[in-house]
Amino acid sequence: MSNMMTSLYNIRILDELAEKRTVIHNIHPLMKVLTTCLYLIVIVSFNKYELSGLLPLVFYPIIVIALADLPLVPLLKRMLIVLPLIIGIGLFNPLFDRSPMVVLPWIQLSGGWISFLAILLKGVLTILAALVLIATTGMTRIAAVLGMLRVPRIFILQLLLTYRYISVLIEEVGRTVRAYALRSRREKGVSFSDWGSLTGHLLLRTMERAQRVYHSMCCRGFAGEYHAGNTSKIRIEDILYFTGWGLYFVLVRFFNIPTAIGSLITGVVK
Amino acid sequence: MSHHIIQVNNLKYSYPGGRQALNGVNFQILHGESVGIVGANGAGKSTLLMHLVGVLFPDEGEIAVGEVPVIKKTLPLIRQSVGMVFQDPDDQLFMTTVYDDVAFGPRNYKLPEEEVEKRVRSALETVGILHLMDRLSYKLSGGEKRAAAIATVLAMKPDILVMDEPSSSLDPKSRRRLISLLRCFTHTKIIASHDLDMVLELCERTIIIQDGKVIIDGPTGEILANEELMEKCGLEMPLCLQGCPVCGTKKAK
């Protein structure tokens, strides 16, 4: 039970990480959001058999994580939550698509396996990029940037409140499960027969709590618009960060670097 | 709203389930007064406070702050003038850092960022937690959270401070610090609490509520020392007015 409680209370680690002061954290939020968007677009634009072309994109999260001094384990743990979904999407590809294909000049696999691995890699990289963005920028600053990009107010608000509701919900789950564990004879988990009443109570409690938080926001002048204060000005370094990564992503998209290196090596060996 | 008189006339309110929470409440609170709202659990204290800031609206009756009635249209004006500190500070601290939490209110009123910073610093300094400015809100201790919650309201520069159970879940030292802090405020204060010793120290006037009605409204010293009345309202005299628990000697009134 204590492990569960610890992991529940660790939910806010991304907020904590976003308050660090490193080279990456100091980059203007707008440039980080644009870089991440471009990265996601480039990843999604690869077709399902282009596994080798995706490989150089792995360097973006690795370099950012290293420069931002982010701990890898909490990020990977959060990614694991979504991983079953990604695996589920590509699970049957190896069974249905058995045509042999060349990945790299010296590796051959079936088309199904290649598309499965490509889906897996795409999923992992996109989630990692989103997590890295939140951990280096913070949700409130991301919301401010979305406002600058003229994203409709209602979407930004929805995003912010959902993000905040997750922590409210998880805190309530923690309390409810602890109270349950102290009075149940079971050593682990919640009995199936208690699930109904427990989730019902949880829903009511979190709604009540969310309502109180909303009231306290209204009492301080909240009228449906979130103001993050003045964000810092865009500096040359910020523009260089975006253009540097942008050029790299475009290069990776239109030029298959692993294949080129492979051809070069095999050419030299011949 | 030059003089912040709060006028409550025949206030009635029932919750959606049908339970009558307020049943004809009347009182007037003058500028600079410090008033304790006291009553047993479920008496209607929190419901009354919610009406003062326009979180709930009455079924019957009316409330006015200054000459402004508390209605939907006037809420921005009312909420600039009346600051509410909620019972659970966690409800009030929803941003990542203490600074952002305290700045939330002033930013909503679109004040320039320099003014926001000035207000945040001043509010945090007043409650004595300026050093916690960049800390994560959810990692503060109970006392620090309470101080931060008060600072979030002070940063709005309200004329009237409404507090729901401000001393609940505080350790004795934090409670004492809070009392000293509140004593320094020159605002009109309305404090709903079960901590009758605190009410005795801070409020010159007390209103006892029972079953959604005002039972008595008068000087705190007289009301809280009236054992029979307190008993009738499901309350107890403040500990400092009770006899010595060891030797049984009655305190001189």
DSSP chain A: -HHHHHHHHGGGHHHHHHT--SHHHHS-HHHHHHHHHHHHHHHHHS-TT-HHHHGGGGHHHHHHHHHTT--HHHHHHHHHHHHHHHHHHHTTHHHH---EEEEETTEEEEHHHHHHHHHHHHHHHHHHHHHHHHHHH-HHHHHHHHHHTT--HHHHHHHHHHHHHHHHHHHHHHHHHHHHHHH-S-SSS--GGGHHHHHHHHHHHHHHHHHHHHHHHHHTT--S-----PPPPPPHHHHHHHHHHHHHHHHHHHS-HHHHHHHHHHHHH-
Flag whether A228 is in a domain.
Answer: no
pLDDT of residue B243: 75
HSE toward the beta carbon, residue A229, CA cutoff 13 A: 17
Residue A24 structural domain: 14-151+233-259
Identity of residue B112: P
HSE toward the beta carbon, residue A61, CA cutoff 13 A: 25
Q: Which residues on A lie below 8 Å from B50 (Cβ)?
A: 215
Chain segment A143-185, per-residue pLDDT in tens? 888 888 888 888 888 888 888 777 778 878 888 888 888 888 7
Q: Within this chain, do residues A45 and A158 fall inside the same structural domain, yes or no?
A: no
- Alpha-carbon gap: B53 to the closest alpha carbon of chain A (Å): 7
What ipTM does the predicted assembly reach? 0.85
Contact (Cβ atoms closer than 8 angstroms) between residue B198 and residue B240: no
* Chain-chain contact of A229 with B103 (C-beta, under 8 angstroms): yes
Per-residue three-class SS string for B113-131:
HHHHHHHHHHHHHHCCCHH
Flag whether A90 is in a domain.
Answer: yes
* Three-state DSSP class for residue B38: strand
| Interatomic CA distance for residues B248 and B152, integer angstroms | 44
- A99 shares contact with chain B (CB less than 8 Å): no
- B55 shares contact with chain A (CB less than 8 Å): yes
Flag whether A266 is in a domain.
Answer: no
Q: Which residues on A lie below 8 Å from B110 (Cβ)?
A: 227
* Chain-chain contact of B136 with A15 (C-beta, under 8 angstroms): yes
Question: pTM, whole model, 2 decimals?
Answer: 0.78
Tens-of-pLDDT digits for all 253 residues of chain B? 446 789 999 999 999 888 899 999 999 999 989 999 999 998 999 999 999 999 999 999 999 998 899 999 999 889 889 999 998 888 888 887 899 899 999 998 888 989 999 999 999 988 888 999 988 888 888 888 988 999 999 899 899 999 999 888 788 888 888 899 888 888 899 999 999 999 999 999 999 999 999 999 999 999 999 989 999 988 888 888 887 777 766 665 4
| Minimum CA–CA partner of A139 in chain B | B96
Flag whether A227 is in a domain.
Answer: no
pLDDT of residue A53: 85
**Which residues of chain A carry a pLDDT beneath 50?**
1
Q: Within this chain, do residues A33 and A132 fall inside the same structural domain, yes or no?
A: yes
Q: Within this chain, do residues A194 and A104 fall inside the same structural domain, yes or no?
A: no
Q: Within this chain, do residues A203 and A242 fall inside the same structural domain, yes or no?
A: no
Contact (Cβ atoms closer than 8 angstroms) between residue A137 and residue A29: yes
Q: What's the total number of domains in chain A?
A: 2
* Chain-chain contact of B91 with A216 (C-beta, under 8 angstroms): yes
Residue A204's φ and ψ, nearest 5 degrees, are: -65, -45
* Chain-chain contact of B108 with A16 (C-beta, under 8 angstroms): no
Candidate from A19, A219, A230 with C-beta closest to B136: A19
pLDDT of residue B2: 47
* Chain-chain contact of A227 with B153 (C-beta, under 8 angstroms): no
Q: Which residues on B lie below 8 Å from A223 (Cβ)?
A: 76, 108
pLDDT averaged over every residue in chain A: 85
Q: Within this chain, do residues A36 and A120 fall inside the same structural domain, yes or no?
A: yes
Q: Within this chain, do residues A78 and A118 fall inside the same structural domain, yes or no?
A: yes
* Chain-chain contact of A221 with B79 (C-beta, under 8 angstroms): yes
* Chain-chain contact of A217 with B80 (C-beta, under 8 angstroms): no
| Interatomic CA distance for residues A154 and B23, integer angstroms | 39
Q: Within this chain, do residues A216 and A91 fall inside the same structural domain, yes or no?
A: no
Q: For residue B61, what are the β-bridge partners?
A: none
* Chain-chain contact of B55 with A219 (C-beta, under 8 angstroms): yes
Flag whether A7 is in a domain.
Answer: no
Q: Which residues on B lie below 8 Å from A212 (Cβ)?
A: 86, 88, 91
Q: Within this chain, do residues A179 and A137 fall inside the same structural domain, yes or no?
A: no
Flag whether A198 is in a domain.
Answer: yes
Q: Which residues on A lie below 8 Å from B113 (Cβ)?
A: 229-230
- B92 shares contact with chain A (CB less than 8 Å): yes
- B4 shares contact with chain A (CB less than 8 Å): no
Flag whether A270 is in a domain.
Answer: no
| Residue pairs between chains A and B whose CB atoms are closer than 8 Å | 68
Q: Which H helix or E strand runs over B45?
A: helix B45-52
- List Cβ neighbours of A102 (8 Å cut-off, separation of 6 or more): A108
| Interatomic CA distance for residues A133 and A158, integer angstroms | 19
| Minimum CA–CA partner of B56 in chain A | A215
pLDDT of residue A109: 75
| Minimum CA–CA partner of A11 in chain B | B138
* Chain-chain contact of B84 with A216 (C-beta, under 8 angstroms): yes
Residue B97's φ and ψ, nearest 5 degrees, are: -110, 165
Q: Within this chain, do residues A117 and A237 fall inside the same structural domain, yes or no?
A: yes
Candidate from B86, B113, B138 with C-beta closest to A216: B86
Q: Which residues on A lie below 8 Å from B134 (Cβ)?
A: 19
CA diameter of chain B = 61
Q: Within this chain, do residues A69 and A141 fall inside the same structural domain, yes or no?
A: yes
Q: Within this chain, do residues A73 and A167 fall inside the same structural domain, yes or no?
A: no
Identify the DSSP state of B147.
H
Q: Which residues on A lie below 8 Å from B84 (Cβ)?
A: 216, 219
Q: For residue B209, what are the β-bridge partners?
A: B214
| Minimum CA–CA partner of A167 in chain B | B94
pLDDT of residue A156: 86
Flag whether A269 is in a domain.
Answer: no
Q: Within this chain, do residues A66 and A177 fall inside the same structural domain, yes or no?
A: no
Q: Which residues on A lie below 8 Å from B53 (Cβ)?
A: 219
- Alpha-carbon gap: B220 to the closest alpha carbon of chain A (Å): 29
- Alpha-carbon gap: B175 to the closest alpha carbon of chain A (Å): 22
- Residue that the structure tokens 């009492």 belong to: A219
